[in-house]
Structure 1
């Protein structure tokens, strides 16, 4: 990829801000557009967002990449369970009725956006690794390619798939902690990440005031579905990173400043 790299944070069904943001980015044919995941759920128009992104992928002059978020992963597991473990799928749908509603809508539209999504995206030109959640301190190896990641099975696959959900890690071991299991001393993963796999651009954790800069990571989920903005990070060789955030009424350039320890 020789042009600009535009990376958009968690959309969560917020179609209007997404369309406005893409227009503001003025994406060229040699550029790339990457979504950090969680296109769906929570917001008012998940199916509209998927249709719009599918349209970009099929018809735009630039490359479009969707990184798997925990909500895409949840939908994917639900679809798999419908075929292999119907009882488990029924339990999932009981806890989250939106799964079945979205499945029906996607099927009726003939969209298969989960099929072309990837677990991560590494751009050597701009020296970044894009993923949805974070990297537990116990993750010692990272797949060289998407194909290698997709070939993982069993415990190795489950260990790697924590990158979709990681927020806090155990202060002593660095192990992944499920949301709500962290204590006061357990850090946010990016606070202690040592850069072993390169600079990470991530979503998942909303930072409502501005994008979050850590030593080896940048968080760009600014909570569009929670009343914040929908943010894009643009990388261009030889220039400083730039941010644009589109809210419900206006767009605002963000200055990238460090933020305090994230709260839930």
Structure 2
């Protein structure tokens, strides 16, 4: 079984993505899942897109590209970022979407048997219910990959927009339901990595551990783990982060 490596939000920081990917691309037993938000904010969105295009052309089975809210504004969602991509870059994103090189979600099973849904901002209870309350991560990913527009373009808690503390974790903590599977998400986080400070209520903090060096958070909600992988690169990128590695994992969807 391959190692599955999950890369958080890139945000136009091509140099940081290049360094993260370099030791992985020659390993045929590694599959990379990138959680979206390739573009905007950082200095080289086009460089990021060029790197991803090269990986998709060389080994498409080993690079799974998910869509984030920053890509969504070129695919049917409302524009919100003040600086627009050039038309060639925007056309490239639309082409990937049409060819289904951009997906909404993936699902994996770890070697310990834990099922994890992976999407940009995570699946809230409201989204889970709107999809018919799927009981496995694979089913949830398949349903999201049908591209339900009323959910994708919803900036009030949809799978490309949910805020980790309030929308995602809060909804599962409040709902009187069994949490059916764990999740891995980017988009937002419950801490400030730069300041080593918490950005969440105490009930989430007491359930969370932080890998400050890798810039990952791990929040336990009943029997399920929620893993945040957005490194918060900002405008210039950080060198103090790492992708999330799931060794000997199985790709389910």
Give the TM-score taking structure 1 as reference length: 0.65
Aligned residues: 207
Q: Which has the higher helix share?
A: 1
Q: Could you say which residue in structure 1 is the equivalent of 2:3?
A: 4
Q: Is residue 144 from structure 1 mapped to residue 139 from structure 2 by the alignment?
A: yes
Q: Select between 223-232 and 43-52 the one with higher mean Cα deviation.
A: 223-232
Runs ≥4 in structure 1, deviation > 4 angstroms? 152-161, 187-195
C-alpha distance in 1, partners of 2:60/2:103? Answer: 20
1:167 aligns with 2:163: yes
2:218 corresponds to 1:218? no
Q: Secondary structure at the match of 1:144?
A: helix
Which stretches in structure 2 are left out of the alignment for 5+ residues?
194-211
Q: CA deviation at 1:224?
A: 1.7
Q: Give yes or no for contact 2:105–2:145 (8 Å, CA) kept in 1.
A: no
Q: Determine if contact 2:39/2:45 at 8 Å carries over to the other structure.
A: yes
List per-residue Cα deviations over 1:58-100 (Å, max 9, x = no partner).
113861011111111122126xxxxxxxxxx7xx4xx64533x
RMSD, matched Cα: 3.4
Partner of 2:87: 103
What does residue range 121-136 of structure 1 map to in structure 2 within 5 Å? 121-124=106-109, 127-136=115-124
Residue 125 of structure 1 deviates from its aligned partner by 5.4
Q: Distance in 2 between matches of 1:221 and 1:129?
A: 16
Matched, 1:235 2:246: yes
Greater relative contact order structure (CA < 8 Å, 6+ sep) = 2
Q: Which runs of 5+ in 1 are unaligned?
A: 79-88, 171-175, 178-186, 239-264
TM-score w.r.t. the length of structure 2 is 0.67
Change (3 A) 1:62 1:28: farther
